[in-house]
């Protein structure tokens, strides 16, 4: 892998897009409340979380940003490898990667955790994120 071939502006745009998509997707006005119930959490869990340490939340957000950054970098590698030369072929690359890797592996995790309803919310977020990341890399 040649990291010098990565379009770092596209990576930053993908990272920002991932954070915005996740922020909207899991906002209380969109899917947060139903997802929270689907993962087996209660109102008390939400209150406990809000009383938790800022270090814990910083670790959660730090891990999320690192994970999104890794996805953005490797989406760049994959759009190049799959010959995506415009936004639509980039989005299709994102779709195929989601369908082949993200959707089935995350479904397996949710099947064993007995949390399949949560999979729809989480996989949907990843689908939109991968479509957008692929489109960004394909366009740039």
Percent of the chain with pLDDT over 70: 99
Question: What pLDDT, on a 0 to 100 scale, did the predictor assign at position 48?
Answer: 77
User: Mean per-residue pLDDT for 65-83?
Assistant: 97
Task: Please give the Cα distance from 108 to 28 (Å, whole number).
Answer: 27
Check: CB of residue 3 under 8 Å from CB of residue 69. no
The model's pLDDT over 120-133, given as tens digits with 9 standing for 90+, comes to 999 999 999 999 99
Q: Where are the domains of the chain?
A: 3-139
Please report which confidence band the pLDDT of residue 1 belongs to, taking 50, 70 and 90 as the band edges: confident
Q: Which bin fits 40, alpha (ψ -120 to 50), beta or left (φ > 0)?
A: left
The model's pLDDT over 80-119, given as tens digits with 9 standing for 90+, comes to 999 999 999 999 999 999 999 999 999 999 999 999 999 9
Whole-Å CA distances, 77 to 6, 14, 42, 137? 7, 13, 40, 9
């Amino acid at each position: 892998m040649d990291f010098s071939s990565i379009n770092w502006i596209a990576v930053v745009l993908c990272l920002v897009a991932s954070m915005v998509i996740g922020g909207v997707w899991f906002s209380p006005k969109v899917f947060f409340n139903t997802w929270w119930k689907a993962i087996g959490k209660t109102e008390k869990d939400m209150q406990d979380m809000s009383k938790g340490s800022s270090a814990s939340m910083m670790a959660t957000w730090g891990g999320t940003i690192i994970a999104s950054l890794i996805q953005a970098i490797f989406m760049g590698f994959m759009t190049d490898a799959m010959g995506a030369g415009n936004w639509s072929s980039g989005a299709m690359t994102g779709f195929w990667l989601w369908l082949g890797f993200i959707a089935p592996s995350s479904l397996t995790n949710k099947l064993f955790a007995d949390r399949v309803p949560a999979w729809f919310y989480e996989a949907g977020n990843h689908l939109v994120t991968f479509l957008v990341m692929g489109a960004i890399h394909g366009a740039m």
